[in-house]
Structures are given as structure tokens and as C-alpha cells.
Amino acid sequence: MKIAIQGIKGSFHHITANQYFGKNITLNECLSFDEMPKLLTNNNVDYLVMAIENSIAGAILANYKLIDEYNLNIIGEVYLPIQHQLMALENQSLKDIKEVWSHPMAINQCRVFLRKQPHIKLIEESDTAEVARLIQEKQLKGIAAIASKKAAEIYNLKIIESNIQTNKENYTRFFILNKEPKQIIDFNKVSLKFITKHQQGSLVEVLQVFVKHQLNLSKIQSLPIIDNPWEYSFFVDVTFNEKEQFNNVLQELNGIVSEVKILGKYKKG
């Protein structure tokens, strides 16, 4: 089974792929989210693992656009606890570190710790684990990475400071994506995109439909429609106990919105 991830071995995407699919997988490592969808649409991989939001840093808006643009299908989700470790070559301590390299999301999630180290320069890179690999490969002294414990193990780095994330209840939500929707029988969560009619009260009317049929709206995210200034598409996640509840909502939505699109049906994480 071929799985595309953002990052390399030791990244949080790698950990998520192992958690969802097991360890008997082949990884296709990507250093950007943008290169992932084409791997799927061209049948180079079977599934994508893609981060979509973090409990501290918020949603990754560009990934919603990718899912919509390439008509990717969500088949599952994983909520992964994110624990950031500060790591470097052996025989170094915090006072020896002059620069910290990591993904901007990881740096943002460790701001409180990093503010207490004014002597350290922060450098943004494309992947947490890639920095760990680079430090070991090039024997970079005075430089530390913020990455996972798994990355420290794989690339044989010393953890200088453990769990440096600002909020210890730090989670990232990942989508598991494939190319085409399949017949899903067992699901209790659906991700939707809809575009409201450009008139007063249209969003309220949509939200009232969810309330009427007792669906829990667990996520709502708006994105501007590029070709229509000041108009927005909405991406929502809904959970429910009975599939009939969702079917009733979908039927009503078709009558009151300009467009509705199912992005995926799956079991909630």
C-alpha cells in the first residue's frame, strides 16, 4: 500500500500513517502539500495523509482548497497528540544552541518556550523531520530541530528539552484521502462544502436546517470564492447518530443553497 505524506520518515504525518494503516506501508515523501493530490489522481499512490487543522494554530486553509479543487475524498480522520521535542547532536546542551530550525507550524506551537531563549534564532523550514535528518547528515553543531520523538530515534539525535509545546493538550487533525468515493456503509460524520445564495440571512437558514434535524456542527470554515469578490464557500463537518438525519439535511440543503458537495463520509476520529 502506497501512502503519500507531507514530510519524511519521523514526521507527524508518518506517525499518523502508521497509526491508521499500520507499519506495512510504502511512504511517498512530499515536502509540500501541493504536490500530493497529483500523486493520487495519477494513481502513483493509494491514499494521502494530510493535516487539516491544529488545536492551537487553527485550520490549514490551503488544504481545504486542494481537497475541493482535486475532488479528493475523505475516508477517515486521525486526531494525533503533538508533542514537540528539541533535539540536536550529542554532547550539546540548550546553551550551545544558536539556531532552531523547524516547520513554521511547529515553531508557532512552541512560542512560549522559544521566547524564553532570546539567544536562539528561529529558522522556518519545510518539514520537522527533514531538519532532524539534515542535522545528523551534515553534523550541524549549534543547531537544533523541533520534531517528534520518533524523528530523534530515527536520526539518532539527543533530546535536549522534552514536550516544549505551549499547550500540552496539543492535537493535529489529519484527513485520510483517496481518489474516488466508495460505497460507505458505516459512517457517523460527513464533511461538506456548500455555497449559500447571495442574499441576506442565507447562512442562518442553512444553520437552522442542521439544528432542525439535530446534527452536531463540529466545524465550520469559510473560504473566499476567488472569482466572486465578497462571496464565500463554507466547509463544515457534521456528526449524527442516525444516517437518516443526514439524508434529510442533504435533501433540504439542495433546495436552499447554490451548491452542495460531499467531501467525505467516515467514522469520526
Single-letter code of the amino acid located at 226: I
Q: What is the pLDDT of residue 248?
A: 93
Residue at 51 is within a domain = yes
Kindly list the distances between the CA atom of residue 40 and the CA atoms of 34, 176, 259, in Å, as whole numbers in the listed order: 12, 12, 25
Q: Give the total number of structural domains in the chain.
A: 3
Please count the other Cβ atoms lying within 10 Å of the Cβ belonging to residue 76: 20
Q: What is the pLDDT of residue 219?
A: 94
Q: What is the pLDDT of residue 14?
A: 97
Helix axes 202-212, 243-256, angle to 10 degrees: 160
137 lies in the same domain as 243:
no
41 lies in the same domain as 174:
yes
118 lies in the same domain as 74:
no
Residue at 23 is within a domain = yes
261 lies in the same domain as 152:
no
Q: What is the pLDDT of residue 7?
A: 93
Residue at 183 is within a domain = no
CATH assignment of the domain containing 222? 3.30.70.260
CATH assignment of the domain containing 26? 3.40.190.10
- pLDDT digits (tens), the chain, 269 positions: 999 999 999 999 999 999 999 999 999 999 899 999 999 999 999 999 999 998 888 899 999 999 999 999 999 999 999 999 999 999 999 999 999 999 998 999 999 999 999 999 999 998 999 999 999 999 999 999 999 999 999 999 999 999 999 988 899 999 999 998 777 778 999 999 999 987 888 899 999 999 999 999 999 999 998 888 878 899 999 999 999 999 999 999 998 999 999 999 999 99
Q: What is the pLDDT of residue 209?
A: 94
35 lies in the same domain as 146:
no
**Which three cell numbers, joined as nine digits, stand for 150?**
520518533
Expressed as residue numbers, the domain containing 137 is 85-161
Residue at 203 is within a domain = yes
Q: Rounded CA gap, 249 and 149, in Å?
A: 44
Residue at 184 is within a domain = no
174 lies in the same domain as 54:
yes
140 lies in the same domain as 237:
no
Report the predicted TM-score, pTM, of the whole model to 2 decimal places.
0.91
Residue 7 DSSP class: B
Question: Quick one: how far is CA 140 from the chain centroid?
Answer: 29
Single-letter code of the amino acid located at 126: S
Find out whether 40 and 74 touch, Cβ atoms under 8 Å: no
Residue at 17 is within a domain = yes
- The candidate with the shortest Cα–Cα distance to 234, out of 269, 182, 197, is 197
Find out whether 49 and 176 touch, Cβ atoms under 8 Å: yes
- Which of 125, 145, 178 lies at the terminal end of a domain, its last residue? 178
Give the burial string for 93-125 (b: 16+ CB within 10 Å, else e): eeeebeebbbbebbbbbbeebbeebeebeeeeb
**Which three cell numbers, joined as nine digits, stand for 50?**
494530510
> What Rg do the C-alpha atoms of the chain give, in angstroms?
21
- Which of 178, 208, 236 lies at the terminal end of a domain, its last residue? 178
244 lies in the same domain as 193:
yes
Residue 232 CB contacts under 8 Å (≥ 6 apart), including other chains = 195, 196, 222, 223, 224, 225
- The candidate with the shortest Cα–Cα distance to 90, out of 157, 173, 164, is 157
8 lies in the same domain as 117:
no
92 lies in the same domain as 39:
no
Q: What is the pLDDT of residue 39?
A: 97
Residue at 217 is within a domain = yes
Q: What is the pLDDT of residue 162?
A: 97
Residue at 156 is within a domain = yes
Q: Rounded CA gap, 202 and 195, in Å?
A: 10
- Which of 178, 213, 235 lies at the terminal end of a domain, its last residue? 178
111 lies in the same domain as 240:
no
45 lies in the same domain as 19:
yes
